[in-house]
Chains A and B, each alone.
Chain A
C-alpha cells in the first residue's frame, strides 16, 4: 500500500466497517478482487481466444467461453463462501510483555459452509480454517505483546480464495479485541518499603543491599516445582534434582514499593512484577505500593490480578 494513502484508507475503513465485537460479513464488508493467479488465468483465456479466432475453431471458442464463464461465476462463489460468516471475539488471557497473546475467535456459519478461510493480522501468515454449515469453529491467533498496558488487536483480515484461487474475497474487521499486557517480570532484589515494613527489625537483612537474598538451601525436586529454580549445577554433579528453596517469610507482611527501586519506570515495574508473581506463588501476603496506587495486604489470585493490573496500567490514563 502506498504510505500517504494509508491514513485515508484507514479512516475510510473505520467508517465503512465500524468496530464491533460481533460481525456478520455482508456486502458492505466484503471486498473482492482477482488474485495474481486470476490474472494468469485471464491471460490464458486471451491466449485460448486467440487460438479460437485464428483457427476459427468452434470448440476452442466453446471451451474458452466456458472457462471465462466459470471465471465470472467464481466471483459469486468466492463472495458466497465468505458472506454470512459471523465472527466474534473471545476473551483473551493476559500475558507478560514478550510473550505471544492468544486471541480467540469464534467463526459461526449462519447457513452454508465456509471453506478455506484464512485469518490473520496482515496479508502474510494467514491461518486456515473451515466452518461447517450452521457450525462453529474456534481459531486462536497470536499477537506479540510488545508493550504493557491494554493491547488493542489490529484489524483482522479474513479472506478466502475458494474455490479456484482466481478471486480473493476479504474483509478487515475490528472486533474490539483487547488484552491486558503485564510488564515483563525481571529478577532483582526484593524492593521492600523502608520504615513502614512490618517486622522490619526481624528480617532487616532482606532489605536492599547487594549480595543479600532470601536463598535458604536446597531440597529435593517435587513435581510442580518451578523449573527455574532447579539447581542444575548440583544435578550435573550427580546429586540428583534439587530445587533452590527460599526462606519462608510467612508471617511477615511485605510491602513492595515502587520508590524503593532505581532505574527507569519500566524496569522498576518489571522488578515489581517479578516479586508479585514470586510472592503469590509462595502464597505470602504482600502489599504493593505505586505512586497513586496502594493495595491492601493480601494474597491469592484476585489480589495478584489486581496488583498485576495496576502494574500493567501504571501511568496509563484511562
Chain B
C-alpha cells in the first residue's frame, strides 16, 4: 500500500498551532515577560507598568480559573486606551520613545490573548524584539549581562511549548535553554567580529536624551554648579604615549560668544560653516575618545583637534561638531596640535562677535577695563594684570556663590568675590572685551582621572570647566584660565581638592563611590570597575565601522573571509562533536573490539559474511590466515566467553588478545588476498 499524500499544510498548521499552551509554558511566559519589561521601567510611562501588573494578575487569575480571557471589545478598548495613554504621556505616537512604549504595551497586552501555541510564539518573538529595543536605551555592561536572563527565559518558554516530559521540568528546560545559548557563543562571536557594519540604511527616530545633564549651548553661572554635582561619565580618552600633564588637559566643548548681561551663549554665526585658519605647530597628541551619549552634537577634544570620523567637522571656533547629536556612545580618534597658531589674521567674526557687549550695565567693570587699557598697551600684559588682581584680592573658589544683583559682573568682581569657573571666565571675558581685546568663553572639561594602570583618562560631569581665550593680531587665539589663578588645586588636582572643607563634594550623590576615593579598597574596586566598563565601551559598544576595519586588518589582514569560514566550520563542528559524541556511539566495549577485529581482517582481505556468527567467522579466518590461527582463535574464544558465557573478563583482556593478533598480522597488506573475500 502506498503512503497517503499529506493533507494541505493549513490543516496541519491549524492542528499544531491551535493546541492550548501548557501550564508550565505559561509560567515561563509570565516570568520572561517580567524580566523583559523590568528594565523598561525608567523608559516607558508608568501607565504601561500598571498595565503590565494588571495583565499579569489577570492572566494568573485566568490560569487559576478565576477569570476569563477578555473578549474582542475589551481587548480593542485596552488597545485604544493604551495608545491614548502613550500619546498623553509622550505627546506623540511616533518617535523612538513612543514607539518603544507602544511595543512594550503590545507585548504586555498580548499576554491577555495567549491561549494557543501560536499566540505564545508570537509573544516570545515580541519579547526578543523588546529586548533589542531595550538595548537602545540601556547599553551598559550590567544590563547586557542582565538581559541574558530574559533571553534565557524566552528560550525556555519556547522549549516549554514542546509536548515532552522535559518541558514539564523547569530546571531541565532552563538548563537546555542556557546550554543552547552557551553553544551559540562561538558562532555569535564570529558573526559579531566579522559581520560588516553597514551604515544606517535609513534614519530612524533616535532615543531622546533630553534628561541628560551636560554642557549646553548657553551658560548662566548656576548651570556649571549644577554640572559639578554630577558624577556622570562624559568620556574616556586613551592616549598613544604618555598622558599629558593635568594642567594641559583643557577639553574644548564649545565657545560662548554672545553675552546678554546674564548668560553667555553660543553665537548664531558659530553654526555657519566656515573653515578656520590655523597652522600646525609642535608635536601632535594622538588619542581616542569613547564618549557617552550627550544629546548634543559637539565632541570634546584638546586644542586643536582633527578627527577622521565621518560627519564630523572642525567649526570656526575650533570645536569638533557632528552632524547629528551624539545619542549613543561614540568612539572617535583625534590628533591635536596644542601649539598651533589659530586665526592669526583678523576676521569679521572676531572683530564683531568677540567684541560684543550689552549696551549698558556693569559700569564699574567697564571703568576698570578702561583703566587697564590705559595702563597696559599689550594684551598679554593686561591679561597678566587681571590674573594678578584675581590672585591678590581675596577671591574665593566656591560652588555656593552669593546671589548677585543686576550687575552680576560688578557684584562678583568688586563685592562678593566668591564664585567658580563660570564666574571667573565670564567676568574676565567681559573685562577683556570692554578693554578692546576680542575674547570669548570656552566651555568644556578640564582634567580627568587617570586609570589605575595609567592607560586612559576618565572625565566626568564635575570636571566641567569654563575658561577664556583672547585674540591678538598676528598671534591669534590664546587660552587663559582665571580659575587657575584663584584655585590652582582645581586645575592641578581636581574639584574635590579645590573645594573648601565646608563644601561637600558630590553632596547629591551620597552613594557614589567617587566620594570614597580616600578608602583604598573602595577606590581600587571602583577603578577596576571603571577599567571593565571602558573595555566594554571601547571593544564592544564601540565596535563599529572604523574600529571594526582596524581590528580586522590588524588581526587577519587579507584573510578575513577564510578565517571567518574556517571559524564557522570549526565551531559548528565542535558543537556537533559535543552533541553527537561519536566516540561513545558503540558503547559496548566487546562489540567495539570485535568491530576492530573485523576491520583488521577486512584490511587483509577477509570480510565477514552477512549473518555469519563470530565462531563461524573465526573458524573461516583461522583457515584463511593459518599462521595467525592461534591468535584468531584466542580472540574469538575470549569474545565468546565474555559475551555469551557470562565470563566477567575485563575488556582489557580482550583488547590484549586483539593487539596480540595485530602484532602477528603481516605489516603490509596483501593485495593478492583481496580477491578471496
A-chain residues with CB within 8 Å of residue B585 when the two chains form the complex: 111
B580 near A80: Cβ-Cβ < 8 Å = yes
Task: For residue A191, give the distance in angstroms from its CB to the closest CB of chain B.
Answer: 32
The interface bits of chain B over 158-186 (1 if a CB of A lies within 8 angstroms of the residue's CB, else 0) are 11011111110000000010001101110
* Complex interface: stretch among B9-17, B220-228, B345-353, B648-656: B9-17
A77 near B184: Cβ-Cβ < 8 Å = no
Asked if A163 CB lies within 8 Å of chain B CBs, one says yes
> Given the interface contacts A63-B135, A65-B192, A154-B4, does A115 sit within 8 Å of B166 by beta carbon?
yes
> Given the interface contacts A115-B162, A122-B7, does A73 sit within 8 Å of B204 by beta carbon?
no
B-chain residues with CB within 8 Å of residue A73 when the two chains form the complex: 180, 183-184, 187, 572, 575
Rounded to whole angstroms, the CA-CA distance of A44 and B543 in the bound complex is 23
B155 near A164: Cβ-Cβ < 8 Å = yes
> Given the interface contacts A3-B5, A51-B133, A60-B136, does A125 sit within 8 Å of B15 by beta carbon?
yes
Rounded to whole angstroms, the CA-CA distance of A19 and B278 in the bound complex is 86
Asked if A241 CB lies within 8 Å of chain B CBs, one says no
Asked if A53 CB lies within 8 Å of chain B CBs, one says yes
Can you name the residue of chain A whose Cβ is closest to the Cβ of B12?
A: A123
> Given the interface contacts A37-B121, A76-B579, does A116 sit within 8 Å of B163 by beta carbon?
yes
> Given the interface contacts A36-B13, A58-B543, does A53 sit within 8 Å of B2 by beta carbon?
no
Can you name the residue of chain A whose Cβ is closest to the Cβ of B15?
A: A124
B-chain residues with CB within 8 Å of residue A10 when the two chains form the complex: 2-3
> Given the interface contacts A48-B128, A73-B184, does A57 sit within 8 Å of B135 by beta carbon?
yes
Asked if A277 CB lies within 8 Å of chain B CBs, one says no
Asked if A162 CB lies within 8 Å of chain B CBs, one says yes
Rounded to whole angstroms, the CA-CA distance of A77 and B131 in the bound complex is 25
> Given the interface contacts A111-B585, A165-B121, A172-B3, does A51 sit within 8 Å of B184 by beta carbon?
no
From B162, B575, B580, residue with most partner A Cβ within 10 Å: B162
> Given the interface contacts A66-B188, A124-B11, A162-B162, does A155 sit within 8 Å of B135 by beta carbon?
no
Rounded to whole angstroms, the CA-CA distance of A66 and B182 in the bound complex is 9
Asked if A222 CB lies within 8 Å of chain B CBs, one says no
Task: For residue B256, give the distance in angstroms from its CB to the closest CB of chain A.
Answer: 31
The interface bits of chain A over 60-71 (1 if a CB of B lies within 8 angstroms of the residue's CB, else 0) are 111111111110
Asked if B202 CB lies within 8 Å of chain A CBs, one says yes
B164 near A69: Cβ-Cβ < 8 Å = no
A80 near B125: Cβ-Cβ < 8 Å = no
A-chain residues with CB within 8 Å of residue B644 when the two chains form the complex: none
A122 near B6: Cβ-Cβ < 8 Å = yes
Asked if B147 CB lies within 8 Å of chain A CBs, one says yes
A163 near B188: Cβ-Cβ < 8 Å = no
Rounded to whole angstroms, the CA-CA distance of A44 and B121 in the bound complex is 11
A-chain residues with CB within 8 Å of residue B542 when the two chains form the complex: 58
Rounded to whole angstroms, the CA-CA distance of A152 and B3 in the bound complex is 10
Give residues of chain A (1-51) contacting chain B, Cβ–Cβ below 8 Å: 1, 3, 6, 10, 13, 36-37, 40-41, 44, 47-48, 50-51
* Complex interface: stretch among B83-91, B193-201, B395-403, B439-447: B193-201
A48 near B579: Cβ-Cβ < 8 Å = no
Rounded to whole angstroms, the CA-CA distance of A121 and B166 in the bound complex is 25
A72 near B131: Cβ-Cβ < 8 Å = no
From B544, B545, B580, residue with most partner A Cβ within 10 Å: B580
Asked if A215 CB lies within 8 Å of chain B CBs, one says no
B6 near A54: Cβ-Cβ < 8 Å = no
Can you name the residue of chain A whose Cβ is closest to the Cβ of B161?
A: A165
A130 near B200: Cβ-Cβ < 8 Å = no
Contact size range, B: 35 or more
Rounded to whole angstroms, the CA-CA distance of A57 and B4 in the bound complex is 50
Asked if B566 CB lies within 8 Å of chain A CBs, one says no
> Given the interface contacts A63-B151, A73-B180, A76-B575, does A164 sit within 8 Å of B159 by beta carbon?
yes
Task: For residue A74, give the distance in angstroms from its CB to the closest CB of chain B.
Answer: 7
A62 near B159: Cβ-Cβ < 8 Å = no
A-chain residues with CB within 8 Å of residue B202 when the two chains form the complex: 54
Rounded to whole angstroms, the CA-CA distance of A122 and B12 in the bound complex is 9
The interface bits of chain A over 158-176 (1 if a CB of B lies within 8 angstroms of the residue's CB, else 0) are 0001111100000010100
Residue in contact with A1 in the complex, picked from B6, B195, B540, CB distance below 8 Å: B6
Asked if B516 CB lies within 8 Å of chain A CBs, one says no
Residue in contact with B159 in the complex, picked from A80, A121, A151, A163, CB distance below 8 Å: A163
B191 near A69: Cβ-Cβ < 8 Å = yes
B135 near A115: Cβ-Cβ < 8 Å = no
Rounded to whole angstroms, the CA-CA distance of A174 and B3 in the bound complex is 9
Task: For residue A99, give the distance in angstroms from its CB to the closest CB of chain B.
Answer: 18
Rounded to whole angstroms, the CA-CA distance of A76 and B573 in the bound complex is 10
A-chain residues with CB within 8 Å of residue B6 when the two chains form the complex: 1, 122-123
Residue in contact with A66 in the complex, picked from B151, B165, B580, CB distance below 8 Å: B151
Rounded to whole angstroms, the CA-CA distance of A61 and B575 in the bound complex is 22
A56 near B135: Cβ-Cβ < 8 Å = no
A-chain residues with CB within 8 Å of residue B500 when the two chains form the complex: none
B121 near A40: Cβ-Cβ < 8 Å = yes
> Given the interface contacts A56-B197, A59-B541, A73-B575, does A154 sit within 8 Å of B2 by beta carbon?
yes
B-chain residues with CB within 8 Å of residue A60 when the two chains form the complex: 132, 135-136
Task: For residue B172, give the distance in angstroms from its CB to the closest CB of chain A.
Answer: 10
B180 near A54: Cβ-Cβ < 8 Å = no
Rounded to whole angstroms, the CA-CA distance of A246 and B4 in the bound complex is 45
Asked if A218 CB lies within 8 Å of chain B CBs, one says no
B135 near A59: Cβ-Cβ < 8 Å = yes
From B4, B128, B163, residue with most partner A Cβ within 10 Å: B163
Task: For residue B500, give the distance in angstroms from its CB to the closest CB of chain A.
Answer: 43
Rounded to whole angstroms, the CA-CA distance of A125 and B4 in the bound complex is 14
A44 near B129: Cβ-Cβ < 8 Å = yes
B188 near A69: Cβ-Cβ < 8 Å = yes
B-chain residues with CB within 8 Å of residue A116 when the two chains form the complex: 162-164, 166-167
Asked if A220 CB lies within 8 Å of chain B CBs, one says no
Rounded to whole angstroms, the CA-CA distance of A150 and B585 in the bound complex is 39
B-chain residues with CB within 8 Å of residue A242 when the two chains form the complex: none
Rounded to whole angstroms, the CA-CA distance of A168 and B125 in the bound complex is 18
Can you name the residue of chain B whose Cβ is closest to the Cβ of A162?
A: B162
Give residues of chain B (572-587) contacting chain A, Cβ–Cβ below 8 Å: 572, 575-576, 579-580, 584-585, 587
Asked if A86 CB lies within 8 Å of chain B CBs, one says no
A-chain residues with CB within 8 Å of residue B181 when the two chains form the complex: 66, 70
Asked if A188 CB lies within 8 Å of chain B CBs, one says no
Asked if A100 CB lies within 8 Å of chain B CBs, one says no
Asked if B74 CB lies within 8 Å of chain A CBs, one says no
A56 near B544: Cβ-Cβ < 8 Å = yes
A-chain residues with CB within 8 Å of residue B180 when the two chains form the complex: 70, 73-74, 77, 163-164
Asked if B328 CB lies within 8 Å of chain A CBs, one says yes
B-chain residues with CB within 8 Å of residue A155 when the two chains form the complex: 3
Task: For residue A126, give the distance in angstroms from its CB to the closest CB of chain B.
Answer: 8
A-chain residues with CB within 8 Å of residue B575 when the two chains form the complex: 73, 76
Asked if A52 CB lies within 8 Å of chain B CBs, one says yes
Asked if A153 CB lies within 8 Å of chain B CBs, one says yes
Asked if B565 CB lies within 8 Å of chain A CBs, one says no
B184 near A69: Cβ-Cβ < 8 Å = yes
A57 near B328: Cβ-Cβ < 8 Å = yes
Give residues of chain B (129-155) contacting chain A, Cβ–Cβ below 8 Å: 129, 131-133, 135-136, 139, 144, 147, 151, 155
Nearest 4 pairs of A and B residues by beta carbon: A155-B3, A69-B184, A69-B187, A116-B164
The 20 sampled A-B contact pairs (Cβ below 8 Å) are: A36-B9, A48-B128, A50-B201, A51-B129, A51-B136, A53-B198, A55-B200, A58-B139, A59-B147, A62-B192, A63-B147, A65-B187, A66-B185, A123-B6, A130-B166, A154-B1, A154-B2, A162-B162, A163-B158, A165-B121
Interface on A for B, CB 8 Å cutoff? 1, 3, 6, 10, 13, 36-37, 40-41, 44, 47-48, 50-70, 72-74, 76-77, 80, 111, 113, 115-116, 118, 121-125, 128, 130, 151-155, 161-165, 172, 174
Given contacts A73-B575, A111-B585, A162-B159, 5 further A-B contacts (CB under 8 A): A3-B5, A57-B328, A58-B541, A70-B155, A116-B163
